[in-house]
């Protein structure tokens, strides 16, 4: 039996520090690394990231879309990448942002959270904006299989506030509703529950009450997108100890040398560690 995700991510962060490295092989980055913008270049990029981060970083976050853009060959590279990181003991948070209803959501859940699936990761990102309840197939399967789900709550894109900061008749924001629903799913879990949240590190001061979440908070936007340690304190306050900052461009720009990539990731991790743990 696999240990619950909340326990596994807590252990990983305690051993390797609070950092999630985003693996985003977009075309311009492949070219900057001197690689062809095809499945072969993608494979070289991904395996270099495995060499650099596997066994060193607590969590990595491959962005599925950049692999899918290369068709079946790209998805095959993603499968190999997930397997290589997981074999090395690095947790894989697959950034897929899936969100649908009924049997379709169940199929997404089986693809990314099901036992025996070549795309199964330790956790995935999901979008709750067809209603939090629509995520039930993914939440239920993740919990059964010791995996995790990170629910988009308050993102940093400029379009996000139109939905996420909207309020119901009681004055409660949509984002807070997502937090409260996640907290309900995590209630009673120890040390943390399987349902995490995605809250952008650059969103600034918010009115979100995260105190009862009992889960991990993924904070994209640390580094090149503008957020520093002071921003983490502003956004998350007393919940900072459960925050997993995520950085991509600030680290990947040091490629294609694997040692330089690893050193960059460790520098970022060490700059965050004393403030979060």
Give per-residue pLDDT as tens, 33-92: 999 999 999 999 999 999 999 999 999 999 999 999 999 999 999 999 999 999 999 999
Say if residues 92 and 56 touch (Cβ distance below 8 Å).
no
Residue 70's pLDDT is: 98
Tokens of 168: 């119901």
Residue 275's pLDDT is: 60
Q: How far apart are CA 86 and CA 73, in angstroms?
A: 20
Say if residues 58 and 9 touch (Cβ distance below 8 Å).
yes
Distance of CA 162 to the CA centre of its chain: 23
Q: How far apart are CA 239 and CA 125, in angstroms?
A: 20
Domain limits of the chain?
5-276
Among 97, 158, 212, 241, which one carries the catalytic annotation?
A: 97
Q: How far apart are CA 240 and CA 198, in angstroms?
A: 13
Low-confidence ranges of the chain (pLDDT < 50): none
Tokens of 167: 């309020």
Continuous H helices in the chain: 5-16, 27-32, 39-53, 64-68, 71-87, 102-113, 136-144, 161-164, 174-186, 229-236, 249-252, 258-276
Q: How far apart are CA 148 and CA 197, in angstroms?
A: 10
What CATH architecture applies to the domain 5-276? Alpha-Beta Barrel (3.20)
Closest Cα partner for 52 from 263, 269, 220, 267? 263
Annotated catalytic residue 97? yes
Residue 225's pLDDT is: 67
Distance of CA 228 to the CA centre of its chain: 18
Question: Is residue 222 helix, strand or coil?
Answer: strand
Residue 227's pLDDT is: 79
Half-sphere exposure of 8 (CA within 13 A, CB side): 22
């Amino acid at each position: 039996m696999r240990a619950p995700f909340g326990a596994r991510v807590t252990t990983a962060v305690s051993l390797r520090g609070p950092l999630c490295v985003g693996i985003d092989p977009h075309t311009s980055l492949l070219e900057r690394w001197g690689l062809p913008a095809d499945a072969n270049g993608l494979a070289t990029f991904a395996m270099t990231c495995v060499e650099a981060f596997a066994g060193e970083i607590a969590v990595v976050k491959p962005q599925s879309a950049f692999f899918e853009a290369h068709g079946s060959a790209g998805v095959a590279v993603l499968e190999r990448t997930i397997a290589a990181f997981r074999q090395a003991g690095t947790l894989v948070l697959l950034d897929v942002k899936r969100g649908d209803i009924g049997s379709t959501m169940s199929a997404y859940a089986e693809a990314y959270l099901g036992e025996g699936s070549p795309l199964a990761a330790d956790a995935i990102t999901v979008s709750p904006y067809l209603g939090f309840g629509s995520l039930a197939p993914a939440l239920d399967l993740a919990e059964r299989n010791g995996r995790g789900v990170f629910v988009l709550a308050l993102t940093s894109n400029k379009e996000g506030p139109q939905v996420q900061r909207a309020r119901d008749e009681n004055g409660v924001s949509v984002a807070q509703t997502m937090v409260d629903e996640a907290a309900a799913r995590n209630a009673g879990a120890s040390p943390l529950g399987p349902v995490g949240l995605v809250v952008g590190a650059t969103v600034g001061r918010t009115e979100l009450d995260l105190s009862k979440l009992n889960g991990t908070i993924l904070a994209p936007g640390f580094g090149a997108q503008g957020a520093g340690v002071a921003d983490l304190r502003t956004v998350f306050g007393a919940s900072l100890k459960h925050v997993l900052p995520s950085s991509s461009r600030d680290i990947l720009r040091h490629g294609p040398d694997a040692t330089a990539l690893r050193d960059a990731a460790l520098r970022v991790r060490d700059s965050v560690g004393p403030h979060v743990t």
